[in-house]
Amino acid sequence: MPVEMDLAWQEEIKRDYPYQFPPHFTFECCSGWAALLREMCRRVDLALEPEDREHFKWSQIKEKFGTLRAYNNGPDVVEDVIDWAEAASEKTCELCGRAGRLKRKGWHAVRCEEHRDS
């Protein structure tokens, strides 16, 4: 995974949904998934009852074997959102956010045509 120097996108998501994140939380993936992750957090926010929001936290959000994994302590209703996000990550270039596909040559990663060798 390339080193991600620009973390502003992470701060923006955490600023919009601060209750979902423990202190010093870091998304362990690249910025191409920023819009996808923002939408995931928005859908979780909509899915949770107000009393559930008090307790909900992401424990880890990362790329694994090329696609998104999002671990949390939420109720079952959140799982549908996670399923959607993980499926969407399989079709979204992790580097730029354009349409991509999972490549399995050498290592697993979702890349668009332009970033196919990155």
Q: Smallest Cα–Cα separation from 49: which of 75, 19, 85, 23?
A: 75
Both tokens of 24, joined, read 């010093």
User: Least distance (Å) from Zn ion to the CB of residue 23?
Assistant: 32
Residue 34 lies near Zn ion (rule: CB under 5 A):
no
Q: Which residue of 34, 41, 61, 112 would you call a contact of Zn ion, by CB under 5 A? A: 112
- Rounded CA-CA distance 45/32 in Å is 22
- Rounded CA-CA distance 116/118 in Å is 6
Are the beta carbons of 33 and 97 closer than 8 angstroms?
A: yes
User: Least distance (Å) from Zn ion to the CB of residue 115?
Assistant: 4
Number of residues counted as binding Zn ion (CB under 5 A): 5
**Choice between 48 and 115, CB closer to Zn ion:** 115
Both tokens of 80, joined, read 């549908």
Sites for Zn ion among residues 48-107 (CB under 5 A): 93, 95-96
Residues that bind Zn ion (CB under 5 A): 93, 95-96, 112, 115
